Amino acid sequence: MPRAVTGASYNNLGQLVNVCLSTAYAGKLPAIPNIAYEDKEHMSFLELLQKRKSCRSYCSDPVPREKIERCLEAARLAPSACNSQPWRFVVVESPQLKQEIADKAFGGVFAMNAFVRKAPVLIVVVRQRSRYAAMLGGALRGVQYSLIDVGIAGEHLALQAEEEGLGICWLGWFSERLLKKALGLGRQDKVDIVMSLGYADGQDSRLKTRKPPSEIWEFR
């Protein structure tokens, strides 16, 4: 089992499978050392990026509304093609609705993400249509800019969550149909990503693993 996986404790098999899948070749990748950043005031942006890791284990403490709002504000400030801002963020805090979503959209074959049940907050990223100029340009180029746009907004949100001392996880594996049904979303709306949010349940000692610069950088 990769070293990155053995460092943490996992509540259930799904969670373990999940981490194994996402770090499937961790053994072959350089690990980024864990550093404790006690003094947040001196944490650089790059250090914040190093520190952020997917959080798959949450404690039940509620997340203050103002922290959630700052995360949403970070997403709102994201750039987008033709400034389309093709997104809405549905924040699910209600325990009943969260339970329904966890049971339905994250049940069955999607149960590897069953840890969402324990997350105090789910943020559903709803992708909407871009402006016509962005759609036309995208069609000509064969690029769906709205996907890039929601990706940027989602990562803005995730990095602000890290800044707030919260744990967050991107979730792409769920039943979109059942999720949209539970939320009563329209046919035009697309949901590619859900994010689980909350205070992490303990320290995650897993090491972040990434391809080495020599594999992914080139200067010409």
Strand partners, 110: none
* 18, 57, 130, 175: which one binds ligand FMN (CB under 6 A): 18
In the complex, minimum distance from the CB of residue 152 to ligand FMN, in angstroms, rounded to a whole number = 12
End-to-end Cα, the chain, rounded Å: 38
Position 10 contacts ligand FMN (CB under 6 A): no
- C-beta of 31 vs 137, nearer to ligand FMN: 31
Position 98 contacts ligand FMN (CB under 6 A): no
Position 170 contacts ligand FMN (CB under 6 A): yes
Query: Are 6 and 26 within 8 A, CB to CB?
Result: no
Query: Are 118 and 58 within 8 A, CB to CB?
Result: yes
Position 127 contacts ligand FMN (CB under 6 A): no
Mark 54-83 with x for binding to ligand FMN (rule: CB under 6 A) and - for no binding.
x-x---------------------------
In the complex, minimum distance from the CB of residue 54 to ligand FMN, in angstroms, rounded to a whole number = 4
**Which ranges in the chain belong to alpha helices (H)?**
3-6, 13-22, 45-51, 65-76, 95-104, 132-141, 145-163, 176-183, 213-216
Position 34 contacts ligand FMN (CB under 6 A): no
In the complex, minimum distance from the CB of residue 31 to ligand FMN, in angstroms, rounded to a whole number = 11
Residue 172 CA to its chain's centroid (Å): 8
- C-beta of 33 vs 220, nearer to ligand FMN: 33
* 169, 179, 182, 207: which one binds ligand FMN (CB under 6 A): 169
In the complex, minimum distance from the CB of residue 136 to ligand FMN, in angstroms, rounded to a whole number = 26
137: Cβ–Cβ under 8 A, 6 or more apart, which residues?
81, 82, 145
Name the CA radius of gyration of the chain, rounded: 18
How far apart, in whole angstroms, are the C-alpha atoms of residue 61 and residue 49?
24
Residue 220 CA to its chain's centroid (Å): 33
* 80, 84, 85, 113: which one binds ligand FMN (CB under 6 A): 113
* 2, 5, 29, 53: which one binds ligand FMN (CB under 6 A): 53
Q: Is 133 helix (H, G, I), strand (E, B) or coil?
A: helix
- C-beta of 10 vs 170, nearer to ligand FMN: 170
Q: Is 200 helix (H, G, I), strand (E, B) or coil?
A: strand
Residues forming the site for ligand FMN (CB under 6 A):
18, 22, 53-54, 56, 113, 169-173, 208
